[in-house]
Chains A and B, each alone.
Chain A
Amino acid sequence: MSEIIKEAEAARDKQGQHGADVDLASFRRDAPAHGTNPDLTCLSDAEMEHLAGVGIVAAPRERAGSFILKDHSPVHCSMGQDGVELLSIKTALAQYGDLPEYWWKAVRPGTDKYTAQAALALDDGYFIRVRAGVKAALPVQACLFIGAEGLSQNIHNVVIAEAGSELHIITGCTTAPDLHRGLHVGVSEFYVQKGATVTSTMLHNWGDEIVVRPRTSVIVEEGATFMSNYVCLKSARSVQMDPLVRLVGPDAVTRLNTILVAAPGADFDIGGRVSLEAPGTRAEIISRTITTGGNIISRGLLTGHVPGVKAHLECSGLILADGGYIRAIPELDGRVAGVEMSHEAAVGRISQEEIEYLMARGLTENDASALIVRGFLNVKMEGLPRELADEIERIVEAFGKSVF
């Protein structure tokens, strides 16, 4: 532990590689205390309704496990399937002797001031482990919720999918509807072991002045699959993240999907990096972004280290209003002969030809535009539970209607 602290101390003031610098000291650290509650009544009806918008449901029977963290306190943690373990990270650290094989093994604590803060002032987080060969029939849901004005929340999550297991995690991150200012720092380390499959769906619905700095790394072993879906169609002040997926075992596969809308005042710097380190590994990064006046930097980096790897990167951006920008930065880094990597990037407005084609069928210009935008955001996300897919479709539908 002392090495971790030492490394974090040294990085206390180290700015992140990307994204605006954040004054960590300007956020409160004194969170109100919340007691634990076995049946989710710790949250008000209004709060629960808000959580439904990020895929968190009140019915535990629809989930293999539920974890809710409010401000700095885990207020609910329940498990519903043998072989699927869900604990608060502080409990797991105490129970498993600091998790020496996994704790800060995928993410370095000295990466920047945000990882340092998570290491030095951990609030809590979740620990999920699916035992070898266990297939979680239902998703595990985790909600990270900020309810106190001006608070910073330092989270560290560890997810382990043992050999041959299957897991779907829904992480809903949101703030109380009337909350303005806050900081969410979230370190997540995923270990997807031989032949396992993990799908991680993250929905964000932040307040207008919330600053978000997730730091995620994923290690994918032989024949394993990691799928990530990131959806953020509501506003936030500043979100910067650039998760790294390392495909370390032969034939490991990953797909990272992002759909994102930046409203006026929002600053998103969202990327995805995949390091293809073993033969036969495959990766796909798909990003669809829209600005209605906010700023978006959409990054993607594929690094091919060995021959016989295949990867593709797609960044598409639609500019629906002036005042903001979309900057697509796709990067391919081939280190040896025999890698097969490609990218396509496009930024622009909705095609007039497409709008007029639909108008020729009788749709108004606005209805035609809304249909095209909904299509644009309609990225195929495999493995989503139906109600979550429906929820995402509803969010997309509402967005399509709201802008035209």
Chain B
Amino acid sequence: MLLEISNLSVAVGDKEVLHGINLTIDQGETHVLFGKNGSGKTSLLMALMGFSNYRITGGQIRFKDRDITLMPINERARLGIGMSFQRPPTLRGVKTKDLIRTFGGRPEDREKEISGLNMATFMDRDVNLGFSGGEIKKSELLQLILQDPELILLDEPESGVDLENIKIIGRSIKKLLQKHLRRQRIKSGLIITHTGLILNYLEADMGHLLLDGHIRCEGNPREMFETIQTAGYEECARCQR
């Protein structure tokens, strides 16, 4: 098992926002996380990445058979977890190219990915400063591609993106998750989506519904999404196996 979350509880400040979460992701699998605003989806991703504001109050996270529950963020990143943020901070004065350079690798490979996402003109701009919704998503995705993690955490990769860019983003995510490979696929993903648009670009293996910090339903992501669309989150929670 690539990722095993067991009985995980997380608090933000004094308030517990996730209660006893169990979730496993195997190598090559893509999972989707559904849920209302404020249900705890972003908190789960932030806790998996190790952000200090998301305090783990109980349970365990294992990744590649290692207990990473208390591991520093950068060590998790080095071990193979990467995340695309919904609202990343602005880094004033830090040029996007300087951040991109920290990923190492061959300059020509970097150039290829930059032009693939139409990001060349962003390299001299401060990281995330004045970026539109779609530009932030592309910038996040570019960083993830260059970081090349095995477990990819995506927080609403399609929100605020126009129809033209959603194609580029959808295709890039598909490639990032190695959807073109079958048996040899090693990349896994956990994707938060509200609109479900991302499901038009890639097949997901499993869906999870978060409600009030609990996982209330698990199953076929397309079926779950249809139920949510037609009957709402509460109805989806009622159909729990």
Bind each other: yes
Q: Is A367 an interface position by the 8 A CB rule?
A: yes
List, in ascending order, chain A residues with CB within 8 A of B74's CB: 359-360, 362-365, 368
User: In the complex, which residues 323-379 of chain A have their Cβ closer than 8 Å to any Cβ of chain B?
Assistant: 351-354, 356-365, 367-368, 371-372, 374-379
Q: State which of A352, A354, A362, A372 has its C-beta within 8 Å of the C-beta of B77.
A: A362
Q: Are B78 and A362 in contact (CB under 8 A)?
A: yes
Q: Is B99 an interface position by the 8 A CB rule?
A: yes
Q: A352-B52, A354-B89, A371-B102 are in contact. Are A360 and B73 (CB under 8 A)?
A: yes
How far, in Å, is A356 (CB) from chain B's closest CB?
5
User: In the complex, which residues 151-207 of chain A have their Cβ closer than 8 Å to any Cβ of chain B?
Assistant: none
Q: Are A356 and B51 in contact (CB under 8 A)?
A: yes
A358, A360, A376, A377 pick with most chain B CB within 10 angstroms: A360
Q: Is B116 an interface position by the 8 A CB rule?
A: no
Q: Is B98 an interface position by the 8 A CB rule?
A: yes
Q: State which of A357, A363, A368 has its C-beta within 8 Å of the C-beta of B88.
A: A357
Q: Are A360 and B93 in contact (CB under 8 A)?
A: no
Q: A356-B52, A357-B88, A361-B102 are in contact. Are A374 and B73 (CB under 8 A)?
A: no
- Residues 367-404 of A, flagged 1 when their CB comes within 8 A of B and 0 if not, give 11001101111110000000000000000000000000
Q: Is B126 an interface position by the 8 A CB rule?
A: yes
Q: Are A375 and B77 in contact (CB under 8 A)?
A: no
Q: Are B103 and A361 in contact (CB under 8 A)?
A: yes
Q: Are A378 and B102 in contact (CB under 8 A)?
A: no
Q: Are A361 and B91 in contact (CB under 8 A)?
A: no
- Residues 268-303 of A, flagged 1 when their CB comes within 8 A of B and 0 if not, give 000000000000000000000000000000000000
Q: Are B94 and A359 in contact (CB under 8 A)?
A: no
Q: Is B188 an interface position by the 8 A CB rule?
A: no
Q: Are B147 and A362 in contact (CB under 8 A)?
A: yes
Q: How far is the CA of A359 from the CA of B93 in the complex (A)?
A: 18
Q: State which of A352, A356, A362, A371 has its C-beta within 8 Å of the C-beta of B94.
A: A371
Q: Are B93 and A356 in contact (CB under 8 A)?
A: no
How far, in Å, is A193 (CB) from chain B's closest CB?
34
Q: Is B83 an interface position by the 8 A CB rule?
A: yes
Q: Is B72 an interface position by the 8 A CB rule?
A: yes
Q: Are A375 and B85 in contact (CB under 8 A)?
A: no
How far, in Å, is A131 (CB) from chain B's closest CB?
36
Q: Are A359 and B91 in contact (CB under 8 A)?
A: no
Q: How far is the CA of A353 from the CA of B93 in the complex (A)?
A: 16
Q: Is B169 an interface position by the 8 A CB rule?
A: no
Q: Are B92 and A376 in contact (CB under 8 A)?
A: yes
How far, in Å, is B42 (CB) from chain A's closest CB?
13
Q: Are B83 and A367 in contact (CB under 8 A)?
A: no
- Residues 61-94 of B, flagged 1 when their CB comes within 8 A of A and 0 if not, give 0000000000011101110001101001101111
**Residues of B in contact, count (CB < 8 Å):** 27
Q: Is B136 an interface position by the 8 A CB rule?
A: no
How far, in Å, is B135 (CB) from chain A's closest CB?
16
Q: How far is the CA of A371 from the CA of B73 in the complex (A)?
A: 17
Q: State which of A351, A361, A365, A377 has its C-beta within 8 Å of the C-beta of B93.
A: A377
Q: Are A374 and B89 in contact (CB under 8 A)?
A: no
Q: A359-B74, A361-B103 are in contact. Are A375 and B94 (CB under 8 A)?
A: yes
Q: Is B143 an interface position by the 8 A CB rule?
A: yes
Closest-by-CB residue of B relative to A379 is B93
Q: Is B44 an interface position by the 8 A CB rule?
A: no
Q: Are B92 and A360 in contact (CB under 8 A)?
A: no
How far, in Å, is B52 (CB) from chain A's closest CB?
7
How far, in Å, is B111 (CB) from chain A's closest CB?
19
Q: How far is the CA of A359 from the CA of B102 in the complex (A)?
A: 11
Q: How far is the CA of A275 from the CA of B51 in the complex (A)?
A: 47
Q: How far is the CA of A352 from the CA of B73 in the complex (A)?
A: 12
Q: Is B49 an interface position by the 8 A CB rule?
A: yes
Closest-by-CB residue of A relative to B77 is A362
Q: Are B103 and A362 in contact (CB under 8 A)?
A: yes
Q: How far is the CA of A365 from the CA of B52 in the complex (A)?
A: 13
How far, in Å, is A179 (CB) from chain B's closest CB?
33
How far, in Å, is A362 (CB) from chain B's closest CB?
4
Q: Are A357 and B102 in contact (CB under 8 A)?
A: no
List, in ascending order, chain A residues with CB within 8 A of B89's CB: 351, 353-354, 357
Q: A352-B52, A371-B102 are in contact. Are A360 and B77 (CB under 8 A)?
A: yes
Q: Are B91 and A375 in contact (CB under 8 A)?
A: yes
Q: How far is the CA of A227 from the CA of B93 in the complex (A)?
A: 20
Q: Are A367 and B102 in contact (CB under 8 A)?
A: yes
- Residues 133-163 of B, flagged 1 when their CB comes within 8 A of A and 0 if not, give 0000000000100010000000000000000
How far, in Å, is B53 (CB) from chain A's closest CB?
8
How far, in Å, is B91 (CB) from chain A's closest CB?
6
Q: State which of A358, A359, A377, A378 has its C-beta within 8 Å of the C-beta of B99.
A: A358
List, in ascending order, chain A residues with CB within 8 A of B103's CB: 361-362
Q: Are B93 and A374 in contact (CB under 8 A)?
A: yes
Q: How far is the CA of A34 from the CA of B147 in the complex (A)?
A: 58
Of the A-B pairs whose beta carbons lie under 8 Å apart in the complex, a sample of 30, sorted by A's number, is A351-B89, A352-B52, A354-B89, A356-B51, A356-B52, A357-B89, A358-B99, A359-B74, A360-B73, A360-B74, A360-B76, A360-B77, A360-B82, A361-B99, A361-B103, A362-B74, A365-B72, A365-B74, A367-B102, A371-B94, A371-B99, A371-B102, A372-B94, A374-B94, A374-B98, A375-B93, A375-B126, A378-B93, A378-B94, A378-B95
Instruction: Kindly list the 8 A-B residue pairs having the minimum CB-CB distance in the complex, ordered from nearest.
Output: A375-B93, A375-B94, A378-B93, A359-B73, A362-B77, A359-B74, A354-B89, A353-B89
Given contacts A357-B88, A359-B73, 20 further A-B contacts (CB under 8 A): A351-B89, A352-B52, A357-B89, A357-B91, A358-B99, A359-B74, A360-B74, A360-B77, A360-B83, A361-B103, A361-B147, A363-B74, A363-B102, A364-B74, A371-B99, A374-B93, A375-B91, A375-B95, A376-B93, A378-B94
